[in-house]
Amino acid sequence: MAKGKQGPHQNPFYRKRPGKDQEVITYPIRLNKFVAKSGLCSRRRAAELIKEGKVSLNGKVVLEPYIMVQENDLVEHEGKRLLPETRLVYLLMNKPKGVITTTADEKDRRTVLDLVKEKESLRLFPVGRLDRNTTGLLLITNDGDLAKKLAHPSHEVKKEYAVTLDRPLSEQHFKLIESEVTLEDGPVPVKTISFPDEEDRLNVQVSLVLGRNRIVRRLFEHLGYEVVRLDRIYYAGLTKKNLPRGRYRHLTAREVIMLKHFS
């Protein structure tokens, strides 16, 4: 091999044949998309970073998100080289209580990524949020495009929660939630509300497609109840079956296809 030339396995952009966990990068590619593919942030945030002058192409700061990147170009964010993720990872976690849903915490509290072995080699991030005291299903991935689409309200991704209240839910409030409660930031259209056991009105199951901050807790607090326990038991067709609290698993190829169908 001639000196100075890269063999296929030394070229970080080389793709011999895409496997089930690989993504083919097609060049030329828009700069904002390239940055997003690196796992740094979403495509929208990538465009903002570029316009803020924080991204350079071949040593020069560029302000145009849609400029085209060629295969051997050097893209950097604040002096650090960016390379597109070629291994897409999709993890389903049964989040335990007391863990923060973020990639890092300024108070050095335990985060969901502290439970993930793959975090050192991949830029993983949680899709959406569960507050510190909420348990249950959480998707963790490095597929920024899928994450953005699943979080967008237009796709109406269904989420179901098991809720334990501090006192029995009255029939009046049950019907009010069914008909639609309006909070300070807008109405809360609940898809379904039910009692797993009709004799036990402390435990309620609620499904909805909204993704607003602490929406389930705020819904019941608005009606004068305290949520003692909140557990997400269903997310976008995925359940907690055979997934113990605090553990995670890789999604199957069929499950990944199902999730992408939502988008």
Tokens of 255: 């499950």
| Among the ranges given (46-50, 120-124, 186-190, 237-241), the one the predictor scored with the smallest mean pLDDT | 120-124
Statement: 29-81 belongs to CATH 2.40.50.220: no
Out of 114, 131, 166, 185, pick the active-site residue. 131
Tokens at 235, concatenated = 């997310």
Token pair recorded at residue 85: 């993720």
Which uninterrupted H or E stretch holds 44? helix 43-51
Distance, CA of 140 to CA of 125 (rounded, Å):
5
Q: Which residue has the higher pLDDT, 195 or 38?
A: 195
Give the CATH superfamily of 158-235: Alpha-L RNA-binding motif (3.30.70.1560)
Tally of residues, the chain = 263
- Two tokens at 10? 């030394």
Q: Which fold has domain 90-153+239-262?
A: Alpha-Beta Plaits (3.30.70)
pLDDT confidence of residue 262:
66
Consecutive H or E run containing 177: helix 171-179
What stretch(es) of the chain map to CATH 3.30.70.580? Answer: 90-153+239-262
The whole model's pTM is what?
Answer: 0.73
The mean pLDDT value for 202-218 works out to 93
131 counts as catalytic: yes
Q: How do strand 227-235 and strand 135-141 relate by DSSP bridges?
A: parallel
Given a cut of 80, is residue 85 above it in pLDDT?
A: no
